[in-house]
Structures are given as structure tokens and as C-alpha cells.
Amino acid sequence: MSKKLVIANWKMNPSSVKEAQVVFKSTITSAKGLKNVDVVVCPPFPYVNIKNDLKTKKVYLGAQNVSSESSGAYTGEVSASILSSSKVSHVIIGHSERRVMGETNSVVNKKIQQALKAKLAVVLCVGESVRDTHGEYLGFIKQQLHECLQSVSKAQMAHIIIAYEPIWAISSNGGREAIPDEFTEVRIFIRKILSDMYDAKCAHATKVLYGGSVGPEDVSGFLVEGGADGVLVGHNSLIPKKFAAILHICNTK
């Protein structure tokens, strides 16, 4: 059984360091004894030292974003080297909420290049805002992959994780829930694109996660029926009981 990858995206939460410590401690407790799951917590930038403060090796630390520049006069930006020196191992790039703010595939590509240079694992988010009946969304995802992974070598793909994020299925957008069959279709399509870009071995080795709204009630379906290599969890990663349930389900599937 290959290890499942569970990534907690805290977004702009919680509102205090004290609350962040409580949530992180509960995540550490929930992750104890789970042999088939790797857990990554991605808190807001001010909380990146939380892992060092709590001294755990069971949970990896991730970031929600990174600058497309290596250094310089870029107020408010955080470079890949700063993340690396802060013991961050993973970084989410191209999240739909960043794209809504104007982040293009070209910018995402630059961020990926910076992250790879700093030896960070990249969680590349791709996904359509509308699931049309003519399959145009597949072309949209194909374009995202081609443009975001431009100049990324086959060797570097060992450090790339793909998170399929159907924007229409995210709860904060008020959309309907996705079903495992819809993820299966896109997972197979993503691997086909990666196979064409690199080769079948690379495509098979690349983890593909489900990144829509996911909870204890549906995570099993995306893992078993959908074939997901793990999940990118938003709101429910901040609710200790729900996130613990997600971790334990992932550990057994």
C-alpha cells in the first residue's frame, strides 16, 4: 500500500497563534501511529515557526504560496529560500483562490521554478471553474498543465504533486459536490497529459490528489473509487475531529 498524502490548507485561519497551536497539536495527536499517511500542514506565513515550537517530525510543514522572484524589493512577498530556511518542505502553488486574484499560468510557472531551486515539493493546483457538457474543461486543464510545467524536467517531476481542484465543487463557492467518477476521469486525463509530456513512468509516479471540498463523509469515495493518492483539505483541516477522521480513513484505504 502506497502512502496517502493529506495536505491541510488553513488559508487565512485561525485568528491567533494560540488557536493555531491548538489545531496543530491536535493534528500531531491524530497523526500518531498512522503508518500509511504523510501529513502536511500549510498555515498562514506568520505561523510557519509553529512546527519548530512544537518539535514534531510526524507532520510536515507547508506554505500556501511563494514569490515568483528569488529576492529583492518585493514588499509583502516571501521567497522560496526563506521558506526553505524556515523548515518548510512543501508549497501550494496555483490555488484557485490565488488565480482569482490574478495569478496566471505564467506566474505559476515562475513560482514553481523558484520552489524547485529551493528543493521544495510543489503542490500544483489545477482545475476548471465550470464543468461543461462538451469536455472543454479538459482542454482548460491540459493548458494549465502545459503552461505551468513549462521547462520542468522529468527529473524535477519527482518533486511535483498535482492537486485537482474543481472550483465549482468548493463549498465556499456554493457549488454542488463532486463525485468520485468525475475525479477519476480527470485523474486519468492528467496522467495521460503527463505521459505525453514526459513518459508513462513519470505520469504513474506523480501523485494526483483530490482538492475540492472534502470531509470524512466522502473522502473514502475519492480514495477508493476515484483512485486519489490523497487529498488537499481546506476548512475541515481546522476542525480537529473531522480532520482526525479524514486521516484515519486515509490510513486504511
Q: Is 10 left (phi over 0), alpha (psi -120 to 50) or beta?
A: alpha
Of the candidates 95, 97, 103, 182, the residue annotated as catalytic is 95
Of the candidates 97, 103, 165, 182, the residue annotated as catalytic is 165
Amino acid letter, residue 6: V
95 is catalytic: yes
Give whole-number Cα distances, 171 to 18, 60, 99, 186, in Å: 27, 26, 17, 20
HEC secondary structure over 184-216: HHHHHHHHHHHHHHCCHHHHHHCCEEECCCCCC
Cα 18 to its chain centre, rounded Å, is 25
Give whole-number Cα distances, 72 to 22, 37, 140, in Å: 35, 38, 33
97 is catalytic: no
Grid cell, residue 172, equals: 465556499
Number of H helices, E strands in the chain: 10, 8
Q: Where in the sequence numbering do the catalytic residues fall?
A: 95, 165
